[in-house]
Amino acid sequence: MALLEIKKYPEKILKEKTVHLENIDAHTQRLIDDMTETMHAVRGLGLAANQVGIPKKLCIIDISLKEDKAPLIVLINPVIVEKEGAAEAEEGCLSIPGYLTSIKRAEKVFVRGIDREGRNLEIEGVGLLARALQHEIDHLEGILFIDRMSPIKREFFKRRYKKFLKDNSKE
C-alpha cells in the first residue's frame, strides 16, 4: 500500500464531476487500499477518489474515529436516493486543511451503490454517517463543502484562504 497525495483547494480536479467506475479490477482494489491508508494516516473520516487525483465515482468512509465499531464503507458509483430532515453541524475537509464551518445537510440519507466486491449496497445513514455520505458524494459531483455556504460566507472564506496560502508559501 502507499500514501497518496491529497489534492488541495483550489485544484481543478476537486470541482470536476467524476465518471462512473466500470470495472472493479486489481487496480481498483489497490486504489481502495491506498485511499484507506491515506485517510487513516491523516485521521480523516472520508475520502473521495478525486481528492487523490482519480476522477472516478469511488469514495470511502470510516467514522470509527468518532463512533466506535463503525465499519469501513467502500462506495462505488454511489447515489443518494432519499433525504430526510435537516441538521447543521461543523464540517471540515482533507482538501481544505485547517478550515471548519457549520453546514446544513439532511439528517438522514438513503444511499445506493456497489461495494468493493461488486455487490449492490444500500446504506441508511443518520447523524455523522449521513453527513459523511453527503460530503463524499458531493466530492464526486465536484461540490465542496464551501459551495454549501452562503455567498457572503464563501467570499469571506476565499479571501481568508488566499491569505493563508500566501502566508504559508513563504515558509
pLDDT digits (tens, 9 = 90+) for 78-87: 999 999 999 9
Residues in the chain: 171
Instruction: List the catalytic residue out of 5, 88, 91, 136.
Output: 136
DSSP-derived letter for residue 167 is H
Give 91's contacts (C-beta < 8 A, 6+ positions apart).
100, 101, 102, 103, 131, 135, 145
Residue-wise pLDDT tens digits, 56-110:
999 999 999 898 889 999 999 999 999 999 999 999 999 999 899 999 999 999 9
pLDDT for position 127? 97
Domains and CATH numbers, the chain: 12-169 (3.90.45.10)
* Range list of H helices, 14-150: 26-41, 128-140
Per-residue pLDDT averaged across 18-44, rounded? 97
Is 22 known to be catalytic? Answer: no
Percentage of the chain modeled with pLDDT above 70 = 99
